[in-house]
Chain A
Amino acid sequence: MNKTINQKAWFFVVPVFVLVAFNAAIPLMTVVNYSFQETFGNNVFAWEGTRWFKQILLSERFHDALGRQIAFTFIILLIQIPLGIGIALTMPKKGWGVPVCLILMSMPLLIPWNVVGAMWNIFALPDIGFLGYSLNAIGFDFNFTQQPGDAWFTTILMDVWHWTSLVVLLSYAGLNSIQPAYYQAAEIDGASRWATFRYIELPKMKKVLTLAILLRFMDSFMIYTEPFVLTGGGPGNATAFLSIDLVKMALGQFDLGPAAAMSLIYFFIVLLVCWVFYSLMMKNEVKS
């Protein structure tokens, strides 16, 4: 096919270019700008070089927030992925149960983040919340507003409730795409239930599971609204994950320079993990 050369076509790109410039490139450059300078307002800036980056990277506060963030993401992945696969395996494959299950599963995904936070806040309150009250009634000393362990427990439970469905739906789609002949062959080969899962279902779900892990990693690594509404990062700094800590620094203390440096470091961490993940995914793709 012969391509016609027509420079006027560039005009069609202009709207996208402008849109991306205003909603991504320019704000990002502003942050870059802040990260290398000190400002006292009134648009007065002083050059600081890499000082803020060094400060953040060496600060115990950042290390702690990063540690909490990694722990949180790791724990919820460890719970949600196996749990999601497990639920998907037990879901019906045909009949009236399919739409019922799918609707039930989609419900948590449709609730806005801050509503989820508010729901769980009230639900877990030790004096009036159903969960908090019940736990205390059966003898647990549960108070997520006072005890760090309880705050973590509630936050993780909330995230599992909110997002496991996503893993379930993706796994379910993966399972449904397996041709019946595979199960029939496994049956004839005398494979046990576990062997069928290990050698047929799991390999066939590999792609959707990679996607599920990637999505859940990104979402949980950048989580803000739900823990903000639920615990506000507390008690103390117990549930102050990276984004909560970042907002505290930027808007609470108005340390714009360090906050900008921290956002960039945060951004690069997410980018790096996604890139590693994506390359691994593509590498396997080429092999098979």
Chain B
Amino acid sequence: MAKITLNNLSHSYVSNYTDADLVLRDVNIDWKDGGAYALLGPSGCGKTTLLNIISGLIKPSKGDILFDDKNVTSLNPVERDIAQIFQFPVIYDTMTVYDNLAFPLKNRNLSDTEIDSKVREIAEMLELTSTLDNRASGLTADGKQKISLGRGLVRSDVNVIMFDEPLTVIDPHLKWILRSKLKELHQKINRTMIYVTHDQTEALTFADQVVVMHEGQIVQTGTPVELFEKPKHTFVGHFIGSPGMNILPCQIKNGQINFAGQEIQSNSNIKKNNFQKTQLGIRPEFINFSDKGIPVKIKRVSNTGRHKIIDTECRGGTIKVLSNASTEIPSGSAHINFDQKYTFVYGDNWIIE
């Protein structure tokens, strides 16, 4: 078990790199011992690269990795004592389920009785006990992924357990079961876990702290609530939430926010205005219909059963509004109001606080 510190990590896959070749730029992270963390971002944002750097499969071009304040940058995965579970189930085809689970322990020369008790304990936890003597290659995809998970969890001495989109190949209904199993395991064994995913539901339900990545950078670290209520970057705004945050162009003049000819009240403290681009961010959840306010045209209403998502048009742009399914939606022209507490101004994509 360890706390993990990443200092100014940058990485490029080419050896003579320029700034444009960087897939990770200047990543700084402080993770506490025993926490559950998620790395969230779209495909290609560098999250798997970051994970492989933490595990030691990739050496970073720049920066340091510290486990409990000990620099491990030059150590290989075995020396770092970590466990990693991959996107696609990796199993040893010719072995039984039991031997698969015992493999990492055998390689570390544990005694047979010790191996046996650990394997049975993990098998019990993952409900693999009845298949222990079967050939691993005969199992279904989720059975195989359970073995992969089991191989990661079977060692008690690991500093951190890392998951690289481990539920990609699992059927939706099993995803829920395995995900809650992981959460349960985290509480039981209390080890640092890092979970990489592009699925916001997975990240938000698994982790205490979510790290959102965008184009090789960390754009925000926070609890799921923080990410939802106060996105620090426009990317976080529209990546998290369904539908995502409305990002609307606005002007700032004399300390006043002007959008669509109206003065808007926000939670941002706008003193200076030296940005090339200023935008207004408001989540669809925090917009209400009212008698006066910003004039919009109702274009489309889609009912998801629980909510209504209303596409409104305002001066050529779309503003999405989320209402309860029972709310009466005006047709044709309407007026909307933004909840000041959840309205923020973004200067060059970063929040102005």
> Which residues of A are interface residues toward B (Cβ below 8 A)?
179, 181-182, 184-185, 187-192, 195, 199-200, 203-204, 287-288
- B127 part of interface (Cβ distance < 8 Å): no
In contact, B107 and A203 (Cβ under 8 angstroms): no
Q: In the assembled complex, which residues on chain B have CB atoms less than 8 Å from the CB atom of A288? A: 93, 137-138
**Which residue of B has the minimal Cβ distance to A200?**
B92
Query: Nearest Cβ in chain A — how far from B315, in angstroms?
Result: 50
Take A203-B93, A288-B93, A288-B137 as given contacts and tell me if A184 and B84 are in contact as well, using a CB distance cutoff of 8 Å: yes
In contact, A185 and B90 (Cβ under 8 angstroms): yes
In contact, A181 and B108 (Cβ under 8 angstroms): no
In contact, A182 and B90 (Cβ under 8 angstroms): yes
Interface-facing stretch out of B18-26, B74-82, B277-285: B74-82
**Which residue of B has the minimal Cβ distance to A192?**
B107
In contact, A181 and B90 (Cβ under 8 angstroms): yes
Query: Nearest Cβ in chain B — how far from A31, in angstroms?
Result: 44
**Which residue of B has the minimal Cβ distance to A288?**
B137
Among B47-61, those with CB < 8 Å from A are 52, 55, 57
In contact, A188 and B92 (Cβ under 8 angstroms): no
In contact, B103 and A189 (Cβ under 8 angstroms): yes
7 closest A-B pairs by beta carbon, nearest first, are A190-B107, A185-B90, A189-B104, A181-B86, A199-B92, A203-B93, A188-B77
Looking at the complex, which one of A182, A185, A187 makes contact with B78 (CB distance below 8 Å)? A187
Take A188-B55, A288-B138 as given contacts and tell me if A181 and B93 are in contact as well, using a CB distance cutoff of 8 Å: no
In contact, B138 and A189 (Cβ under 8 angstroms): no
Take A181-B88, A188-B78 as given contacts and tell me if A203 and B94 are in contact as well, using a CB distance cutoff of 8 Å: yes
Take A182-B90, A190-B78 as given contacts and tell me if A199 and B95 are in contact as well, using a CB distance cutoff of 8 Å: yes
Known contacts A182-B90, A184-B84, A188-B83; 19 additional CB pairs below 8 A are A181-B90, A184-B77, A184-B86, A185-B148, A185-B151, A188-B77, A189-B104, A189-B107, A189-B151, A190-B107, A191-B103, A192-B107, A199-B92, A199-B94, A203-B94, A204-B93, A287-B138, A288-B93, A288-B138
Q: List 24 A-B contacts (CB under 8 A).
A: A181-B87, A184-B52, A184-B57, A184-B77, A185-B84, A185-B86, A187-B57, A187-B76, A188-B55, A188-B82, A188-B83, A188-B104, A189-B103, A189-B151, A190-B104, A190-B107, A191-B103, A192-B107, A195-B107, A199-B95, A199-B103, A203-B93, A204-B93, A287-B138
Query: Nearest Cβ in chain B — how far from A200, in angstroms?
Result: 7
Among B128-156, those with CB < 8 Å from A are 137-138, 148, 151
Determine the distance from Cα of A195 to Cα of B41 in the docked complex, in whole angstroms. 35
Q: In the assembled complex, which residues on chain B have CB atoms less than 8 Å from the CB atom of A199? A: 92, 94-95, 103
**Which residue of B has the minimal Cβ distance to A181?**
B86
Determine the distance from Cα of A179 to Cα of B164 in the docked complex, in whole angstroms. 15
* Total contacts A-B at CB 8 Å: 53
Determine the distance from Cα of A181 to Cα of B84 in the docked complex, in whole angstroms. 10
Looking at the complex, which one of A181, A187, A203, A204 makes contact with B77 (CB distance below 8 Å)? A187
**Which residue of A has the minimal Cβ distance to B90?**
A185
Determine the distance from Cα of A90 to Cα of B148 in the docked complex, in whole angstroms. 29
Determine the distance from Cα of A179 to Cα of B90 in the docked complex, in whole angstroms. 9
Query: Nearest Cβ in chain B — how far from A75, in angstroms?
Result: 28
Query: Nearest Cβ in chain B — how far from A20, in angstroms?
Result: 40
Q: In the assembled complex, which residues on chain B have CB atoms less than 8 Å from the CB atom of A191? A: 103, 107
Q: In the assembled complex, which residues on chain B have CB atoms less than 8 Å from the CB atom of A188? A: 55, 57, 77-78, 82-84, 104
**Which residue of A has the minimal Cβ distance to B164?**
A181
**Which residue of B has the minimal Cβ distance to A191?**
B107
**Which residue of B has the minimal Cβ distance to A198?**
B94
Q: In the assembled complex, which residues on chain A have CB atoms less than 8 Å from the CB atom of B78? A: 187-188, 190
**Which residue of A has the minimal Cβ distance to B58?**
A184
Q: In the assembled complex, which residues on chain B have CB atoms less than 8 Å from the CB atom of A181? A: 86-88, 90
Determine the distance from Cα of A34 to Cα of B52 in the docked complex, in whole angstroms. 70
Q: In the assembled complex, which residues on chain B have CB atoms less than 8 Å from the CB atom of A185? A: 84, 86, 90, 148, 151
Query: Nearest Cβ in chain A — how far from B273, in angstroms?
Result: 49
Query: Nearest Cβ in chain A — how far from B204, in angstroms?
Result: 26
In contact, A190 and B57 (Cβ under 8 angstroms): no
Q: In the assembled complex, which residues on chain A have CB atoms less than 8 Å from the CB atom of B95? A: 199
Q: In the assembled complex, which residues on chain B have CB atoms less than 8 Å from the CB atom of A184? A: 52, 57, 77, 84, 86
Determine the distance from Cα of A47 to Cα of B22 in the docked complex, in whole angstroms. 84
- Most B CB contacts (10 A, CB to CB) among A179, A185, A187, A203 go to A185
Determine the distance from Cα of A204 to Cα of B91 in the docked complex, in whole angstroms. 11
Determine the distance from Cα of A288 to Cα of B136 in the docked complex, in whole angstroms. 10
Query: Nearest Cβ in chain B — how far from A202, in angstroms?
Result: 8
Q: In the assembled complex, which residues on chain A have CB atoms less than 8 Å from the CB atom of B148? A: 185
Determine the distance from Cα of A84 to Cα of B148 in the docked complex, in whole angstroms. 32
Q: In the assembled complex, which residues on chain A have CB atoms less than 8 Å from the CB atom of B84? A: 184-185, 188
Query: Nearest Cβ in chain A — how far from B115, in angstroms?
Result: 13
Query: Nearest Cβ in chain A — how far from B159, in angstroms?
Result: 12
**Which residue of B has the minimal Cβ distance to A187?**
B77
- Most B CB contacts (10 A, CB to CB) among A184, A188, A192 go to A188
Q: In the assembled complex, which residues on chain A have CB atoms less than 8 Å from the CB atom of B76? A: 187
In contact, B108 and A190 (Cβ under 8 angstroms): yes
In contact, A179 and B93 (Cβ under 8 angstroms): no
Q: In the assembled complex, which residues on chain A have CB atoms less than 8 Å from the CB atom of B137? A: 288
Take A187-B78, A190-B107, A190-B108 as given contacts and tell me if A179 and B88 are in contact as well, using a CB distance cutoff of 8 Å: yes
Query: Nearest Cβ in chain B — how far from A223, in angstroms?
Result: 33
Query: Nearest Cβ in chain B — how far from A278, in angstroms?
Result: 21
Among B28-58, those with CB < 8 Å from A are 52, 55, 57
Query: Nearest Cβ in chain B — how far from A96, in angstroms?
Result: 15
Query: Nearest Cβ in chain A — how far from B158, in angstroms?
Result: 10
Query: Nearest Cβ in chain B — how far from A179, in angstroms?
Result: 7
